A and B are shown apart, each in its own frame.
Chain A
Amino acid sequence: MNIHGLQRNFCSAPTTLLPVQLPTRMESHLCGDELQKRALLARALVRTTIARYVDQTNDRVDPRSLNFKKNGYGKPEVEWQIADDWQPPALQFNISHTSSLIACGVTVDSPIGIDVEEKQRKLKHHILAFARRYFSSHEVEHLTSISDIEIQRQQFIKLWTLKEAYVKALGRGFSASPFKTFTIQLKAAAKRGIYLSRDVESEISEISVDSLGSENLTNNWQFLLLELAGSHYAAICMQKHNTLGGKGNVPIKLTARRTIPLVEDECVLGTSAVVPISGLTF
């Protein structure tokens, strides 16, 4: 699973991206320049990211040739061309953006949801009032138990991104899985598995989701929570492949790149740009 992050202040020449065909016409009438630029960048990021992972023997896939569609609930997907001699790759993606970062996650053969949020994001409402309205009772309990308001706020943002990522991974719209109907828990897990070689001293905690009384299967989703570029939390949710007889987590092979579409691209996994918080055993 690969995450590509684009920080907007790196993007210097958006005009070179104009020839990229916009898959939807919805955003073309935006009067806000900023929003239009962001929509363009998001499209460029998705296109170039997916194009990179399509194995076309020696031919590079032209990002402009990709077509997109929306599933029945509005989730964007790649619409692969049907050709006799070509098996479309099982790539799935999801994007999320804030005013200063756009993230695109790509997986092979697994539904994915990603959500990013600025670490410093502050609510206009009181956190617990918001949580009581929208989160599950377990989550409210967890947040209430945190006495330090700054830590409480951070935990809130983490929970928010995780919940968003889950609903986006499910891909059936927010009304299909209202936030109150499932609980995300960060549980401390015993040290196990293979860690990144560097100083992961603290326990890596496990993230799980519990659906309260609905038909959603919840034990086949796994979560990652990362800190990106020192400024953002990123939550990723993807479906597990039950290749190990259904028990335990299949380790995720993760790469992360910081990118300016068509301009620059660097792998940032293992640097301070990507800091795992929870849910990871590499």
Chain B
Amino acid sequence: MASLAQASTALSTSCKPTLALSSRVSSLKSVSFSITGKRFPSLSSRPGRLQVSCSAKPETLNKVCDIVKKQLALPDTTAVTAGSKFTELGADSLDTVEIVMGLEEEFGISVEEDSAQTIATVQDAADLIEKLVEKKA
């Protein structure tokens, strides 16, 4: 379930129950750990207890940013980052639907309404895209 090999994240542990996470991924979406006892559970023995959400590739994020900028006709000076919320960038419902359509066309995927409703940020969109692209493969 958790494939740490794909996330370029190095986890370093010590004997203490706290974790030091050195991350080379600038926007790791969510990490949840469950630690019982003092030792860090080994991945092989309890894969279900450790979840790491891998963030989307930078190229995906960049493409999403481009599509969003184009749809909303944002000047180049506007910062659009992974954490940017569509509504904060000025997107209304019609814009959001057009953005989703643009993403579908760019990545050759099909986004269901209930998934589309969960997209609030550029990061959300990129993560969903990668999930759908992976499913297609």
Listed in ascending order, the chain A residues whose CB lies under 8 Å from chain B are 30-32, 34-35, 97-99, 117, 121, 123-125, 130, 133-134, 160, 164, 173-175, 178
Which of A34, A123, A174, A178 is B98 in contact with, Cβ under 8 Å?
A123
> Which of B71, B88, B93 has a CB less than 8 Å from the CB of A30?
B88
8 contacts between A and B (CB under 8 A): A31-B88, A34-B90, A35-B87, A35-B88, A35-B90, A117-B94, A124-B70, A164-B93
Interface residue B117 (Cβ < 8 Å from any Cβ of A): yes
Give the complex CA separation of A125 and B94 in angstroms.
11
Interface residues of B (CB under 8 A from A): 70-71, 87-88, 90, 92-94, 97-98, 101-102, 104, 112-114, 116-117
Q: Which residue of B lies closest to A97 (CB)?
A: B92
Residues of A near B101 (CB, < 8 A) are 125, 130, 133-134
The main secondary structure of chain B at its interface with chain A is helix
In the assembled complex, which residues on chain B have CB atoms less than 8 Å from the CB atom of A117?
Answer: 94
**Known contacts A123-B98, A125-B101, A130-B98; A175 and B113 CB within 8 A of each other:** yes
> Nearest 8 A-B pairs (CB), nearest first?
A175-B114, A175-B113, A178-B113, A175-B117, A124-B98, A124-B71, A133-B101, A174-B113
A134 to B116, CA, bound (A): 13
- A124 to B91 CA separation, bound complex (whole angstroms): 13
Extra inter-chain contacts (8) besides given A133-B104, A174-B116, A175-B114, CB under 8 Å: A30-B88, A32-B88, A99-B90, A124-B70, A125-B101, A130-B98, A134-B97, A164-B93
B113 to chain A, nearest CB (A): 4
> How far is the CB of A243 from the nearest CB of chain B, in Å?
33
Q: How far is the CA of A175 from the CA of B118 in the complex (A)?
A: 10
- Kindly provide the distance from the CB of B85 to the nearest chain A CB, expressed in whole angstroms: 9
Interfacial chain A residues near B98, Cβ < 8 Å: 123-125, 130
- List, in ascending order, chain A residues with CB within 8 A of B87's CB: 35
A160 touches B88 (CB 8 A): no
What residues on A are CB-neighbors of B117 within 8 Å?
173-175
